[in-house]
Amino acid sequence: MENLKVIISKYHYAKKPALLVSLLLFVPLGIISVFYGIIIISKNFLYSIKILKEKKVKPYVICVGNLTTGGVGKTPIVCELANYCANELKKKTAVISRGYGAKLNNKNVNIIKDYTKTYYDDGAICGDEALLCAQNTKNCIVLTSKNRVEAAQLAYKNYGCEVVVLDDGFSNRKIKKDFTILTIDSKKQFSNGFLLPLGALREPLGESKRADYAVISNKGDENILENKKEILEKIKTKKSVICNFTQGGFYNIKNGLEVQINNKKVIAFCAIGQPQQFYNYLKKSLNLVYAETFCDHYSYTQDDIEKIVKKARELNVDTIITTQKDEVKIKQYVKNISAINFLSMKLCANFTDNGLFYALERGVKK
């Protein structure tokens, strides 16, 4: 099942998918996509004519989402916005993540971090994105729940939160948003243009009209300006900004120290939405001899890690690289393994200069 998910994900973004794969996948996935599209379009129509109604909550709701599946850099942007609201605007702020792929029951509201402490240190239990939010925000609380309304109400009632930031909540119409941001990968854009599962689109491109801002994430895209123009021609979001992501250093998972890995022979593994971008970056400065890809939000086991370490020995490689998102899920399995390191990611964006922070400030302070 995991391998099938990886194959389908590759098919979504392949410029020229293999003929055999296309023949095998197009008809069955296309049929499902038609029914999926009918459901999504009908749901949005019912919300537009007020038969289905969004629930207004007390806190100001900022939503950071995307139209496609896979990683587009939402979580770092969520942390940036939450930190701005909490520490610059001095508003009590909560981050709410769905907790997808976590062992915690996300039908409940789970407190991952409050103003006094972080209650979990294992991303496999609480969710990788939730733990990253907990680690990279200051003076914020972090909750997980698929019920965003209930989570927002708890944040207001128990913690007095004036602002909540939803990590990946664009398709959730049950809660009324005050400010919506769509994140779009400048290279991957909208996959092959089809709805799930034939393509990676969760909703038709026309639904981009519900967003106040489009944040176009640039992860080393040499044609960023041309791609931005192409994206803006396809969506109906009026305002946009480019958000640059740069790779930080390499850090050893066992001891947390930064390590220098230049021109080394390495193997890599990850379970993220866009694995090829990670591998391509490593190839720029390292000799990547083997890569193991798991599906997004995959829950690792001890056996998975042992197999990767065994593969490294077979290839006579003493350095293994993964991502920061994966690091939070495998700590418990690498306590006695010094060969595994993670690559950190830095967000380089000045949201003040491009007006995004000013727009948020006006809304939050109303």
Q: Please work out, in degrees rounded to the nearest 5, the angle formed at the alpha carbon of residue 202 by the alpha carbons of 199 and 206.
A: 100
Please check if 68 is assigned to a binding site. yes
Q: 67: closest CA among 232, 237, 206, 202?
A: 202
3-state SS track over 56-78 = CCCCEEEEEECCECCCCCHHHHH
Please check if 248 is assigned to a binding site. no
Contacts of 321 (CB under 8 A, 6+ apart): 250, 261, 266, 267, 268, 282, 286, 340, 341, 342, 343
Please check if 71 is assigned to a binding site. yes
Please check if 352 is assigned to a binding site. no
Q: For strands 320-323 and 340-348, give the pairing.
A: parallel
Is 47 within 8 Å of 171 (Cβ atoms)?
no
Please check if 74 is assigned to a binding site. yes
Please check if 237 is assigned to a binding site. no
Whether a cis peptide bond, with omega within 30° of 0, leads into 59 is: no
Please check if 70 is assigned to a binding site. yes
Burial 281-294 (b: 16+ CB within 10 A, else e): bbeeebebebbbbb
d(CA 24, CA 33): 15
Residue recorded with tokens 């990253």:
132
- Indicate the burial class of 187 (C-beta count within 10 angstroms; 0-12, 13-18, 19 or more): middle
Please check if 69 is assigned to a binding site. yes
Task: Return the amino acid letter for 55.
Answer: K
**Crossing angle between the packed helical segments 2-13 and 19-48, to the nearest 10 degrees:** 80
Is 119 within 8 Å of 111 (Cβ atoms)?
yes
Q: Identify the DSSP state of 194.
A: P
- Indicate the burial class of 316 (C-beta count within 10 angstroms; 0-12, 13-18, 19 or more): exposed
Question: Can you say which residues are annotated as belonging to the binding site?
Answer: 68-75
Question: Can you say which residues are annotated as belonging to the binding site for ATP?
Answer: 68-75
